[in-house]
Structure 1
Amino acid sequence: MLIGSHVAVAGGLVKSGLGEAVEAGAEIIQLFAGNPRSWAQRAPDPAGDEAFRAACAELELPVVVHAAHLINLGSPSELVLTRSLAALDSTFQRAAAIGAEAVVVHAGSLVARGRRTAVLAGLHDLVAPIVDRAAPGVRLLIEPTSGAGEAIASTIDSSIQYMLALDDERIGLCLDTCHLHAAGEDMTDPAAIARAVDKITAALGPDRIGLIHVNDSRDPIGSHRDRHESIGLGTIGLAAPKALLSTPGLQGVPLLVETPTHARDVTLLKDLRTTFCIA
């Protein structure tokens, strides 16, 4: 099970992103392709992208791109929806340019009540063309959110419903321990985590969980607040990472931290891996 972290790339993909990755001892990294809170696209830099791609290939370092937070595949606004689809398409293009193997995007929000059935019914037709255009080897991963507002997918059950609506075996899930905890799922009970994985596998088939964000939470279970904490220092504790490492259905799924202390938490997960990983 590869263990890695999100990295900042504001200072340059190679200088900043890879520098942070090496410092943290990451075996897989995640990055934003541009400003996560803006629709504006990053200026093209083919030479920089190729240098980063080559360096990651030499280091045998897998890369995941996280799409912008503004993307909302459930928005009632035609403008937001149009921009969201264009941004996701662009993110796939950038992922291919830098040699990334996956794009992570938040499941989105209904914004207003009473829209769930219609939004789920239209998901496949919205997303399938983008996946069709994606470069071979770049997988789309849907990340359920913390359940705030009118989240489309947050719990295990609503995430399964979302994936069934997408109806595309090429698309996987990116689970986040803080998000699931905030949505009301028990991340402190290894048996509950194992049951959740079994439930996903039974409903969607094997190998649909492509990545796990391992983050502790500042807030209690069911809070619907997405506030990450360093592993072991929040309200989840060490039970979740220990269970993730020892759950048979998750062997081979990379674990990636998005915490305030990347290097510390990568080291902690690696130490736990030596004891709890069954592979």
Structure 2
Amino acid sequence: MSTGNAIGGHVLVAGGLATGGLRYAAEIGAEMAQVFVTNPRGWALNEGNAAEDAKLRAADLPVYVHANYLINFGSPTEATLENSIASVRHTLRRGREVGALGVVVHTGSAVSQPREAAFRQLRDHLLPLLEEIPDDGPDLLLEPMAGQGQMLCATVQDLGPYLSALEWHPKAGVCLDTCHAFAAGHDLSTPEGVRETFDALHAVAPGRLKLIHANDSKDVLGAKKDRHENIGAGHIGAQGFAEIMRHPAVAGVPLCIETPGKADKHREDIDLLKKLRG
């Protein structure tokens, strides 16, 4: 069985990024934490608080940042593309300021334009941002989506052309969301499906898996619907998560819940994952 998987969650930060975030992490028993550093559903680029940033850097807790949900480097809309560039650059800077190990960004959609044009935009606009990341800066973690619409990356195999458009840049990592992967057709509810999925991930992008968003699925396999469920209460099931943590490609990779509910439910999910970890 793989060992060393820190298990935590996306934390609520009422009362300050570090003060509130660390309090919530302790309340739910988190061994790692994911935070927003700006409004995830708006383009405003909020500046941080130096004192709060210092507290988060000093905490004995691995930290990850989730970027704005609106970011889309495949969009044919110029304003969306310009805002996406500014938002990723800002979030990477804020990630360095809080000591984050990675910044998670959704892989986006071609919307109404040809996929080839969307991939050219990735190369032209996201690759330069990767080049700006210093050696000690956070990796940019690409999160494949559930497969709805004209998504550029949903299956593990889709990571190949996506990373190729970014010239396999060393600062480009992967954040795999279990609900998204299940919705896209990867059967994470069975030992065979887990093995096939993570074997394929290792073959396509060896060593690039840096974070797992551990979310059960409200919907059936291949539904292409991004609806998270609490661990063990959805169609992946508790045993699926136990199998995921047994796969060699997952050794040492943190698991971060983004499940429904508040602190009591989040603690239950984290406690169950810890139990399944063994």
> How high is the TM-score relative to the length of structure 2?
0.92
Match of 2:161 in 1: 161
DSSP 3-state at the match of 2:18: helix
Conserved in 2, the CA contact under 8 Å of 1:145 and 1:153? yes
DSSP 3-state at the match of 1:13: coil
How has the CA–CA distance of structure 1 residues 14 and 122 changed in structure 2, closer, same or farther, with 3 Å as cutoff? Answer: closer
Conserved in 2, the CA contact under 8 Å of 1:27 and 1:61? yes
Conserved in 2, the CA contact under 8 Å of 1:95 and 1:138? yes
How has the CA–CA distance of structure 1 residues 44 and 245 changed in structure 2, closer, same or farther, with 3 Å as cutoff? Answer: closer
Say if 2:268 is the partner of 1:268: no
Deviations 1:198-253 (A, max 9, x none): 2222233x311111111011111122211111000011111321111111121111
Match of 1:277 in 2: none
- The amino acid that maps onto 2:187 is D
Say if 2:18 is the partner of 1:14: yes
Equivalent residues in 2 for 1:197-236, closer than 5 Å: 197-204=198-205, 206-236=206-236
Match of 1:257 in 2: 257
Give 5+ residue unaligned stretches, structure 2. none
Equivalent residues in 2 for 1:52-201, closer than 5 Å: 52-54=56-58, 56=59, 60-112=60-112, 115-135=114-134, 136-167=136-167, 168-201=169-202
- The amino acid that maps onto 1:233 is A
| C-alpha displacement of 1:102 | 0.4
Conserved in 2, the CA contact under 8 Å of 1:187 and 1:239? no
| C-alpha displacement of 1:171 | 0.7
1:44 to 41, 48, 52: 48
| C-alpha displacement of 1:24 | 1.2
Conserved in 1, the CA contact under 8 Å of 2:73 and 2:108? yes
2: CA distance between counterparts of 1:73 and 1:127? 7
Conserved in 2, the CA contact under 8 Å of 1:160 and 1:200? no
2: CA distance between counterparts of 1:182 and 1:246? 21
DSSP 3-state at the match of 1:172: strand
Q: Write out the 4+ residue segments of structure 1 that deviate beyond 3 Å after TM superposition.
A: none
Say if 2:29 is the partner of 1:25: yes
Indicate the RMSD between aligned Cα atoms, in angstroms: 1.4
2: CA distance between counterparts of 1:218 and 1:239? 16
| C-alpha displacement of 1:137 | 3.5
- The amino acid that maps onto 1:224 is K
1: CA distance between counterparts of 2:204 and 2:159? 11
Bigger relative contact order, structure 1 or 2, given CA contacts below 8 A and separation 6+? 2
Corresponding pairs, count: 268
2: CA distance between counterparts of 1:242 and 1:76? 41
Conserved in 2, the CA contact under 8 Å of 1:177 and 1:240? no
* Mean CA deviation greater in 40-49 or 23-32: 40-49
| C-alpha displacement of 1:69 | 0.1
Conserved in 1, the CA contact under 8 Å of 2:133 and 2:171? no
Conserved in 2, the CA contact under 8 Å of 1:174 and 1:212? yes
2: CA distance between counterparts of 1:201 and 1:218? 27
Give 5+ residue unaligned stretches, structure 1. 275-279
Conserved in 1, the CA contact under 8 Å of 2:139 and 2:173? yes
